[in-house]
Structure formats: C-alpha cells, structure tokens
Structure 1
Amino acid sequence: MKVLSVNLGHPQPVPYTDQAEGVTGIDKKPAAGPVRVAAPGPKGVGASGLAGDSVCDLRHHGGDEQAVYAFAREDLDEWERELDRSLANGCFGENLTTEGLEVSRALIGERWRIGRSLVLEVTSGRIPCRTFQGHLGERGWVKRFTRKAAAGAYLRVIEPGEIRAGDPVEIVHRPDHGVTVEMQFRAVTTEQELLPRLLAAGEALHSQALARARNYVAAQQG
C-alpha cells in the first residue's frame, strides 16, 4: 500500500461552480516534492490540510474533518474503462492517489500512517457536487458517482508530518464496528435506513453524518 501521488490544486475561474468568486481548486496536480500536512482548523475557517493546496468553497470543503481527500488509483482505473477516457492522478480532486488500499471500504475511524510521521483518520466519504460534475464534463455524473458508492475517503490529521509520492501507507488502527466509508456514503445519500448503524462509529464519524444519524434515530423513536 502506498501513495502514488500527492496532489495540490490552485484557484481557477470556471463557469460551473456556485462559489461566489467563481473559482475552484478541484483540478489537482501531483506535487514534485514533499508536502507538509497538518490540521487546518474548523470547517468554515480551515481550508486544506496540505500546504500549498487551495480550497475555494469553505462552506462545503476543507476543515479538520475534511483535511485530506484520498481516492484509490484502482477506482480511477475502473472509471477510465467505464468512461472510455484517461483520468490522471488528482483529477477527482483527491489530495492522495493511492495504490493497494481499499479506500472506500476503509472503516470510519481507521488510521493510516503515511511516511515517517503523518497519521490520518478516516471520517467519511465524499459527496459529489455540481462543481465535480462540471469539472469532469460528464452528463449525469453526480447520480452516476452516487450509484457506484466508491466515494473515496475524507480524513482528519491525528499527527502532522511531511509526505511525498511513493510513501508507504500502513494501517495502524482498525475499529471493530464494521462501519465502512461505503456504508456511511450510502446512508447519507440513497439508503437512509442505514443511518442508525453509523452510530457505532461514534465520534470518529464526520460530525454532520453523526448528527444526521442521531436525528434520524430520534425521529424514528419519537
């Protein structure tokens, strides 16, 4: 298991985002050297956890619970076959393109050590948006991506550090609750009946998903 590339984005003007300034950093490119990764701060204030990476819409992206976004090269390869087009590392807006790691089947709260010192913790899957669809230029992309439920994983920073392409990834903690990124994604998109099962992941779960699960359970009981 390793990081194939560490990808950074810079603000670019585009016609397909509803962000006020009309710019996005979704088109990320592999960095040439090491990149410092640290907790960026709470959502709405903190941006990306990677130094040199831009997050332009702080309403929906960035912050401590979405400090880093990882996507498996194997899933990109599958999309290449389905879409019949080339998909470069970083083109899904991911900070980390990985190899040998089942990112969307990772457990919420699972911890990865990357390189010498960086430790990340899985919090949730990525919800597709209008900007993602516009960036790829694929008609009906949001629905198509949602149906597959291979969403990639958002991660929080537990221990900061520097990383670079080629760094090994080691799973240093796996919870025993069975709540995967794929399950969490399905619960908050197409299968809300799964929401109660997310509670087993506890505080490791992205706070918005945790609140939604708790509200759903309360409504069912009330």
Structure 2
Amino acid sequence: MKTPSILAVCRVQQLLPDTGAVGVTAIDKRPVEGPVRVRRLGLHGDVQADRANHGGENKAVYAYSEDDAGLWAGVLGREIPPGYFGENLRVAGYTASKAVIGERWRFPGGTVLEVTMPRVPCATFARRVGEDGWVRRFRDSGLSGAYLRVITPGDLEAGEPFSVEHVPDHGVRVGEWLADPTRERAEALLDAEAEGSIRLAAEIRPYIERTLAGE
C-alpha cells in the first residue's frame, strides 16, 4: 500500500468572471511551490469569492485524490490537473472520497486536518467543467473529495506524506454520503456526535435533517 502524500498544494490563481450571482469565482486553483501556511480559515493567500457557500472553518481545505481525478479524466476525455476542481490539496496514495467523516490527517510538521463533509457540486462548478448534467453526475458518482477543518495550524507542502488517524467507528464516508444519504447513515452520524466521537459541521446538518424527513 502506498503512503498517502500531498501531490500538490493549490490556491487561487486569479478570480474569473462568472455568470452566477457573485459575478466572479475563485475556483481557478493552481499548484504553488514550497510550504504554504494553513490556518483556521484555510491556506495563506487563498480566497473564496462566494463566502456564503464556500470556505469557513468547516470547509477550510478541500482535498481531491489523484485516482478520482484519473477516473474523471477517462470519462471526460481530458486531463484533470491539480486544482482544476477547485481543490487545495491533490493527494496521492489515498482516496479522499472514501474518507470517514470525522477522521483526521496528520502531516510531518504537526499540522492536523479533520474531514467534515463531501464537496456538494454547485452551478459554478458545472460552468467550470462545462459538461451537461454535471451537478447530478458528480453527486451520483460519489467521487466527492473531502472538505476538512484545521485542528492544528501549520505548513503544507507538495511531496509531504501524511497519516490517517482517529477514524471514527460510525463508518460513513464522504462520497457515499453525497451519493446516497440514507436514513441509516444520517442516524449513524448523529449517534456518533452524541457519543462525542465527531463534531458535525453546521453545513451538513440541513442535509441530515432533509434525509431524516424523507426529502
């Protein structure tokens, strides 16, 4: 088994015009050289244009896996380079979409990140990719990548390995939650929080409530 590692650290290259309500998007992330400081709200030098739906403590860092990007490259017939999906971290040797909500990733300098929820595709993302039905296709694929909160600030750099620790017992993975948010999974998340093994992000609660309501 390969050791999980950071393939690229990405932050916004430039704000691009967008036809959405905000008028611009910061989805254009590109790899950067050297160590990058990560704090409570994300990478130093990175921004989010639509702060009502992106960023914040519970979505401070977005990680996507090289293996999932490779699957999309095959389906779409084009390269999916690091940062193209708006991710901050392109990781290798580990599938972020299979991360368990609440698990923690530890990096060499002591930085610790915690998985909070899947990336929920939006219209801006669909315009970026330019594929018909992209929101549904991405959601149904379960290849969501993972949002993470910063537990311990520090530096992140391409080439660094990381370890996965504190994997909660509830077993709900970000990709399967996005693709198939069942009542059983919703209840497992709430039970795990009640037991103190995870801290649910406020942004995932509406999805849990709608699932339990049968919507």
Percent identity between matched residues is 42
Question: Does the 8 A contact of 1:115 with 1:167 survive in 2?
Answer: yes
Cα distance in 1 between the residues matched to 2:84 and 2:63: 12
1:102 aligns with 2:95: yes
1:31 aligns with 2:26: no
Question: Does the 8 A contact of 1:71 with 1:97 survive in 2?
Answer: yes
Letter in 2 for 1:17: G
Counterpart of 2:11? 8
Deviation at 1:94, TM superposition (A): 0.3
Cα distance in 2 between the residues matched to 1:171 and 1:125: 17
Question: Does the 8 A contact of 1:187 with 1:193 survive in 2?
Answer: no
What are the equivalent positions in structure 2 for 1:120-135 lying under 5 Å apart? 120-135=113-128
Counterpart of 1:44? none
Query: Normalised by the size of structure 1, how large is the TM-score?
Result: 0.86
Counterpart of 1:114? 107
Residues 1:124 and 1:201: Cα distance change in structure 2 (over 3 Å): farther
Question: Does the 8 A contact of 1:69 with 1:94 survive in 2?
Answer: yes
Letter in 1 for 2:199: A
| SS of structure 2 residue aligned to 1:121 | strand
Letter in 2 for 1:200: D
Cα distance in 1 between the residues matched to 2:163 and 2:200: 20
- Residue deviations 1:47-76 (CA, integer Å, cap 9, x gap): xx1001111111000000000000001000
- The alignment's C-alpha RMSD in Å is 1.9
Letter in 2 for 1:197: A
Letter in 1 for 2:189: L
Question: Does the 8 A contact of 1:186 with 1:192 survive in 2?
Answer: no
1:204 aligns with 2:199: yes
- Worse-matched range after superposition: 68-77 or 4-13: 4-13
Letter in 1 for 2:15: Q
Letter in 1 for 2:131: E
Question: Does the 8 A contact of 1:5 with 1:96 survive in 2?
Answer: yes
Letter in 2 for 1:121: E
1:17 pairs, out of 1, 13, 20, with 20
> What runs of 5+ residues in structure 2 fail to find an aligned partner?
none
> What runs of 5+ residues in structure 1 fail to find an aligned partner?
41-48
After TM superposition, the runs of 4+ consecutive aligned structure 1 residues lying more than 6 A away are none
1:93 pairs, out of 77, 86, 90, with 86
| SS of structure 2 residue aligned to 1:204 | coil
What are the equivalent positions in structure 2 for 1:22-171 lying under 5 Å apart? 22-40=23-41, 49-171=42-164
Question: Does the 8 A contact of 2:30 with 2:83 survive in 1?
Answer: yes
Deviation at 1:216, TM superposition (A): 5.3
Deviation at 1:186, TM superposition (A): 3.0
- Residue deviations 1:64-91 (CA, integer Å, cap 9, x gap): 0000000001000010000001111110
Question: Does the 8 A contact of 2:115 with 2:149 survive in 1?
Answer: yes
Query: Normalised by the size of structure 2, how large is the TM-score?
Result: 0.89
The count of corresponding residues between Structure 1 and Structure 2 is 207
Counterpart of 2:168? 175
